[in-house]
Amino acid sequence: MNQLDRLFNQFYDNALEETFKAVGPVERKLTLKSSLLELLGDFSYLDETRVEMKPTVIETKEFDDYTRELISLPVTDLIYIPIYVLTPKTEQQIYSSVLALHGHGYGVKEAVGLTKSGEQEQGEPGIHNQFAVELVKRGLKVFAPEVIGFGERRLTRDKEAGNINSCEAMATNLLMEGKTLAGLRIWEARRLLDYMESCSDVNTSRIGMMGFSGGAVITTYTAALDLRVSTTVLTGFTNTFKGSIMAMHHCIDNYIPGILNYAELPEWISLISPRSLFIESGEKDPIFPNQYVKEAIAEIEKYYDNRPEKFAYDIFPGVHEISGRKSFDWLKRQLLPS
């Protein structure tokens, strides 16, 4: 370790030493939530341009056990969100539902079992493991949006350059304006929760979120801020800041200026408690190392001491990917109790 390594370790230690220490846990939790809103950036002006969220159905496809619709949802005069809505073919009339957020790749198509060109995926699924499909097959209604910056929601300059996403371009522009890409994505996620609540076939008391990688960033902070999310699954993200996004190259969408001055990542995740939380991680994930996954889980678990049934985790043999070997059925049990 050279002098500069030691210098940056000192920066890290000093940031944690200077974090706000509230009088009690309730006050600290409230302070962290209000601080998070400030750190993400002010997007309240978007509320002034909101429009009626009346979706347009682009396509409908029938499968043996579910229906898949692609809709375009207007949110503001400039924001239209493509969403795959997967509805189980059951006798239910009111569904427990999940907001499913994909990670990096070619967009939401990966979550619903489609190739980049929109064809039905054949053979083994990719790292997203078609998780939206796996959830609808378990009786959950799934809303899988295209996260801004991916797929069809890239900036023109990135589409023309052949860049797989617009994360860097969007994030750097927003940073110059005192905002963050995470903040914009979380604002959208909360508007999607508004839309889900407005659907007549959604049980508004049983709404969950599942996010993978960059989608788990959005899921973490959305669930921390929004009590409408009763159940959360995080895959390929739980760690410490120091062990992951400060230790190696990551997409810029992970970074929120000043967030370490308030808490390390495990405490931010713990804001979800006492609501249900499942953490999933591949033991050989190269960008969210297993050593720090275990460290984070040990810290988060303390916030569920009196509610062990609300917290679970699975460190599976794998890399940076969704497994689902335990998380899919756990999410079903939480949202569809017998």
pLDDT of residue 53: 97
pLDDT of residue 26: 86
**Whether the predicted pLDDT of 22 surpasses 80:** no
pLDDT of residue 17: 81
Of 41, 42, 51, 1, nearest in space to 195 by CA: 51
The mean pLDDT value for 42-65 works out to 96
The mean pLDDT value for 141-162 works out to 97
3-state secondary structure 251-280: CHHHCCCCHHHCCCHHHHHHCCCCCEEEEE
323 Cβ contact partners less than 8 Å away, ≥ 6 residues apart: 129, 235, 280, 282, 314, 316
Structural domains present in the chain: 20-335 (3.40.50.1820)
**Quick one: what percent of the chain has pLDDT higher than 90?**
90
Residue labelled with tokens 């750097």: 172
Distance CA 128, CA 211 (A): 10
pTM over 0.85: yes
Mean pLDDT estimate for the chain: 95
The upper half-sphere exposure of residue 290, i.e. CA atoms within 13 Å in the direction of its Cβ, equals: 11
Task: Report pLDDT digits (tens) over 91-118.
Answer: 889 999 999 999 999 999 999 999 998 8
The mean pLDDT value for 163-171 works out to 97
pLDDT of residue 21: 65
pLDDT of residue 310: 96
Please give the full DSSP string across 106-118, using - where no structure is assigned. S-GGGTTTB-TTS
